[in-house]
Amino acid sequence: MTAVEFSYLCDCADGQLARRLKLDSNMGAELDFLIDELKAYLLLVGLTLNWWGTAPSETAPLLWGLGGLLTLGFALASTRFIRNPVVQASGAFQASRHGESAQTCHQKKRFWWVWAIARLITQYPQSLPIFALLNILPWFVMVYTVLHLGYSLLRLAQMLRRTSSGTE
């Protein structure tokens, strides 16, 4: 648990430091996204195996873990698709630099607080120790999965709407 939280703290700090010192680069942003993907997969696999270890005769932990990996995979793939330079050049999606989505979360838009809570759970699992202290880590896996499913469906609807509206 400590290693997971420490890795997220370092991830936040290195990106902020690079931007502040103007040392950020496209290669650094891509490497950061790759490391974020790997951390997300490892976190979900680790929590699923932990859950399954407490109830080895149950299939629910494995089904939630598999569902989580599938929805996480689609969420990451759709983010990668939207950030692709070819897609960005088409004008179908607004161009943004790595890290800008976190800044838009703080803008007071409709339901901004829902997005802020979802980001805390899915991108920077600061809530993980709370789930652990309450001994409800399986709930974290379920919430994490459902949030990624919601994000995936939202992105899929956006991609279908924007690609069918004539934007190439």
129 vs 101 pLDDT, higher one:
129
Q: How many C-beta atoms lie closer than 10 Å to residue 140's C-beta?
A: 21
| The pLDDT of residue 45 | 95
Question: Which of the residue ranges 24-28, 63-67, 78-82, 115-119 would you say has the lowest mean pLDDT?
Answer: 24-28
* Tokens 């989505």 belong to residue: 101
According to the 3-state scheme, what is the secondary structure of 74-134?
Answer: HHHHHHHHHHCHHHHHHCCCCCCCCCHHHHHCCCCCCCHHHHHHHHHHHCCCCCHHHHHHC
Q: What is the rounded end-to-end Cα distance, in angstroms, of the chain?
A: 44
Backbone angles phi, psi at 37, to 5 degrees: -60, -45
Residue partners of 103: CB distance under 8 A and separation at least 6: none
The two tokens of residue 1 are 């648990």
149 vs 16 pLDDT, higher one:
149
pLDDT at residue 167 is higher than 60: no
pLDDT at residue 17 is higher than 80: no
pLDDT at residue 73 is higher than 90: yes
pLDDT band, residue 158 (cuts 50/70/90): confident
Residue partners of 6: CB distance under 8 A and separation at least 6: none
**What amino acid is encoded at 76 in this protein?**
L
| The pLDDT of residue 150 | 92
pLDDT at residue 8 is higher than 90: no
pLDDT band, residue 99 (cuts 50/70/90): low
Mean pLDDT of the region 95-116 = 66
| The pLDDT of residue 87 | 83
pLDDT band, residue 86 (cuts 50/70/90): confident
Q: What angle do CA 114, 30, 127 make, to 5 degrees?
A: 30
- Euclidean distance between CA atoms 40 and 76, whole angstroms: 10
- Euclidean distance between CA atoms 49 and 111, whole angstroms: 34
141 vs 13 pLDDT, higher one:
141
Mean pLDDT of the region 133-155 = 93
Under 8 Å between Cβ of 141 and 62 = no
